[in-house]
Structures are given as C-alpha cells and as structure tokens.
C-alpha cells in the first residue's frame, strides 16, 4: 500500500509552512506517532507525528523549502486499518492541533498523560499548569546513578537529612580514579534536571546553594542568565561576505505584517510613569522564601501581571476588541506575554489568567517562557489574547513605546528595576524604581481611562498589599 503524506494545516487557516528538519530518511521504518518532520509556520515550530506505520520510500521536499498546505511531502509503504490512514492511501487529515489521526479529545488526553509522566502525578490531573512538575509524587523508585555514582532511592518528599545522607553515600562510593572535576555528586531533583536540560545548563558547572548541598531551581536559572549575559558580551566578526540576504517568511513575515497593520490601523497613545517598586521587590523576596512557592520561579513580572488584571477590572475598556462596527469588552483576561525567541517575537497568552491564584499564575508564566524559548509554543496559545505585557526590563531597558498586539487595545511595557534616588517623606532615599509604559488604541481608550489604568497598575507596584483587598 502506497501512502502519501500531505502537509497539514496545523493552525486555523495557515496556508504554508517551511520544512526545517527531517527526522526520518528513506528506508526508515516508522510507527504511529513517531515524529516525521519539524516545520516552521507563521506562528511557531511544529513537530508532525506519523499517522501511519510503514517504511519511508521518498522525501519530496528539501529542508528550507516552503510549501503550500496540502502538498505531498512524503511517500511511504505499509499501513494498516489502525494506523490512521485515510481511504485511498492518503494520511488522514490532522486535528485542530496538527496531530494527524487524533481527535481533539484524544490529543487533550495524550497531553495530560505526558504532563502526568513529567510531574510524576499518577492521577493524571497534573495538579495545575506545571512545566516540569511539582504535583503529587509517585511511589519511590530506584534509578541509575549518574556515571559511577551509587544508585539513590528517594521520593519527592525526602527530607533534607535524607538528601544529605544520599550525597554522603554517593561521595563515599565514588572511585578514587574519577577526575577531580567530578569529585562531588550532582544532587538535584528530576524536575531540576529537566529544567537544566531545557535551558542547556551543565549541572556540573552550577554552584549548589541548597541547604543539603542540592542544586535548586534558582541555581539553574541564575547560571543560565549569567551564561546568557556573557554570550551577549561576545562580539562576532563581520564575516566573509559583505551582505547577507534572507527571504522574509515564517514567523518574521507574520511579525512584519502584524506590526504594520497595528501601527497604521490603530492610533496609538502612550503614557509613562516612574514607580517606587521597593515593596514589590521585598514581596517577591518573601514569596521566594515561602514554602507555598517552593519549586516555582517568582519574579516582579508576576506582581505586575496581577496588577494589570486588577487595573483591567477597574477600567474594563482597556480589555477589549475594536472593529469599525462595534467594540467588544472582554470579562476575562487571556494575558499575553511578549517573548523573544530565536525566530522572532511571539506573544503567547495565559488563558483565563484572571482566575488563577498567585502560584498558578507563576507556574503558567514559567511554562510559557520556557516553551517560547524552545520555539515549541502551540498555535492555540498565540491566539485569543486580550491584553499584553512586554517585559523589556530583562534586557536592561527602562522604557519604550510598545506597539499593540493586533486585536487588542492595550499593552504595558515593564522596565528594569534599578536603585535610584527617590523622595520619601521629604527626604532623598535610595529606592528600587521602575518605569511603566502603556500604549492604547485611542479609538476606544480615551486619555482619562488610559491614565487611570496606568495609575492603578502603579499603585499595586508601589504597594502590592492592595491585591489583598
């Protein structure tokens, strides 16, 4: 049986995609759900799983080639009644998420199963939107020690004493012939190892600060940020050619279209305000030390996100969509976070962020950030946003003039937090100060509403205790 696999539409009307990386070659035998190819759409990178079982006989597209949806990109031989092949030997149409041969319910179930595997949650409910898992732990299992380390058994609920004892046992079991660079075992929970892998961090190079000598989440993130800083300080050479030409396609093409449409369709108005963020930074420090936030990254962006949703409730027209015939005020917040990725700027959003607790929102923001950095953000996560935050502070910037995400009427830029002189009770003190910048669609958001919104966000940043009211 000859199978023709056609390029699917993986995201609500996309018309083309670029072949990035073939994961198979002619002669390979594949099973159902083996990854065939990675493609780039106007939204993100997507891996296409196989809807059939068989042998690859022909690859009909080259890496880097852009094709229309529906074009035949692969031929194979084999297949059976249960392998997801449509009548006539053509791969079945994909579901809405781009996974051929699955219904949306089956795909959702598979996603839950995958998350359950990562989090170690046998119930499969995931316990929230955890990226690498801090939900219920499974029963303790033995797992192979790293290199020549002695195997260690422990559960996610292990005490600090148990972790220390395991580290001591591993050191004692280490042969004397092991190089000095690996003289101490790496003590880190599986989720921390997963995070290090995602961030391309070598755990042997990380300085552990845990009470029992274990590597913590903050240790990994700190090391990754430092590595990124030094990488940015490197200055590349000019290269051997005077010019480089790159076709405008994929994510970059979509970014250009969206920015032009937004800038020349919606009349932007932009406001700025400097804010004393000292109490927010103190609050973030307390949250990091709280057992309720163990294992999740907490940053000032979390407080700003909560402040934005508080301000939206008080100024609802800032969370709306405008058309020439009507405007629609949304009584929910799908909070977009502008994310810089290797392939360009994207704006994934946290669905129904207004319903989340502080911990749930922190987990969702972390998941969103790491997924975007890896270029794996699903198309659905980039659609349906209602308000956007762009965190330019992570690049050391104080302020800017953000452009609206198409379909929204408001965006907030969060600048870096710096020690600055600030007048408190008629005295100059050193405080931690940031700049908040907001742009709005002036067709709907008037100056007084825009000013009240930005003032409300500033109130929370100055005094986060107001969130408890």
| Residue pair 97/105 in contact by the 8 Å Cβ criterion | no
Query: Could you confirm whether 442 is annotated as catalytic?
Result: yes
Instruction: For residue 158, report the phi and psi dihedrals to the nearest 5 degrees.
Output: -60, 145
Handedness of CA 142, 145, 151, 152 (dihedral sign): negative
Instruction: For residue 404, report the phi and psi dihedrals to the nearest 5 degrees.
Output: -60, 140
CA–CA distance, 298 with 286 (Å, rounded to integer): 10
Joined together, the tokens standing for residue 119 give 């989090």
- Return all residues near 131 (Cβ < 8 A) that are at least 6 apart: 195, 363, 366, 367, 370, 371
DSSP 294-355: TTS---HHHHHHHHHHHHHHHSGGGSEEE-SS-EEE-SS--EEE-EEETTEEE--EETTGGG
CA–CA distance, 276 with 464 (Å, rounded to integer): 11
CA–CA distance, 175 with 272 (Å, rounded to integer): 61
Q: Which residues pair with 424 in a beta bridge?
A: 427
Burial class (CB in 10 A: 0-12, 13-18, 19+), 407: middle
Catalytic residue among 268, 331, 354, 442: 442
Joined together, the tokens standing for residue 344 give 């360009």
DSSP 358-377: HHHHHHHHHHHHHHHHTT--
CA–CA distance, 203 with 26 (Å, rounded to integer): 37
Instruction: For residue 387, report the phi and psi dihedrals to the nearest 5 degrees.
Output: -155, 145
- Mind telling me the catalytic residues? 442
């Amino acid at each position: 049986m000859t199978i023709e696999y056609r390029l699917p539409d993986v995201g609500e009307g996309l018309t083309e995609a670029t072949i990035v990386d073939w994961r198979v070659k002619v002669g390979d035998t594949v099973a159902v759900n083996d990854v065939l190819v990675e493609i780039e759409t106007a939204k993100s990178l997507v891996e296409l799983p196989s809807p059939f079982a068989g042998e690859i006989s022909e690859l009909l597209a080259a890496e880097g080639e852009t094709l229309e949806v529906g074009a035949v990109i692969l031929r194979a031989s084999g297949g059976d009644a249960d392998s997801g092949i449509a009548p006539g030997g053509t791969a079945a149409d994909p579901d809405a998420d781009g996974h051929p041969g699955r219904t949306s319910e089956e795909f959702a179930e598979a996603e839950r199963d995958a998350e359950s595997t990562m989090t170690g949650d046998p119930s499969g409910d995931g316990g929230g939107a955890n990226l690498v898992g801090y939900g219920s732990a499974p029963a303790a299992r033995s797992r192979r020690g790293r290199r020549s380390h002695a195997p260690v058994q422990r559960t996610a609920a292990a005490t600090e004493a148990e972790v220390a004892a395991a580290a001591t046992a591993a050191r004692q079991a280490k042969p004397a012939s092991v190089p000095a660079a690996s003289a101490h075992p790496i003590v880190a929970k599986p989720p921390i190892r997963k995070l290090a892998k995602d961030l391309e961090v070598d755990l042997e190079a990380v300085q552990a600060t845990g009470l029992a000598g274990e590597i913590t989440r903050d240790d990994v993130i700190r090391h990754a940020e430092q590595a990124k800083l030094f990488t940015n300080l490197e200055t590349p050479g000019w290269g051997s050619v005077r010019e480089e030409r790159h076709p405008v396609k994929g994510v970059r093409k979509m970014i250009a279209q969206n920015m032009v449409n937004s800038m020349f369709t919606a009349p932007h108005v932009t406001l700025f305000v400097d804010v004393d963020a000292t109490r927010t930074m103190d609050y973030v420090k307390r949250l990091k030390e709280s057992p309720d936030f163990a294992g999740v990254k907490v940053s000032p962006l979390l407080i700003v996100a909560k402040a934005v949703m508080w301000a939206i409730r008080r100024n609802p027209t800032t969370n709306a969509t405008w058309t020439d015939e009507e405007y629609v005020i949304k009584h929910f917040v799908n909070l977009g976070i502008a994310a810089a990725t290797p392939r360009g700027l994207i704006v994934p959003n946290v669905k129904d962020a207004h319903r989340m607790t502080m911990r749930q929102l922190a987990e969702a923001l972390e998941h969103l950030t790491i997924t975007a950095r890896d270029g794996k953000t699903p198309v659905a996560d980039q659609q349906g946003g209602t308000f956007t935050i762009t965190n330019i502070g992570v690049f050391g910037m104080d302020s800017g003039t953000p452009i609206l995400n198409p379909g929204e009427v408001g965006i907030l830029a969060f600048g870096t937090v710096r020690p600055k002189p600030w007048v408190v009770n008629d005295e100059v003190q050193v405080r931690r100060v940031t700049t908040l910048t907001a742009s709005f669609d002036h067709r709907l958001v008037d100056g007084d509403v825009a000013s009240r919104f930005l003032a409300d966000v500033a109130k929370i940043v100055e005094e986060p205790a107001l969130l408890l009211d």
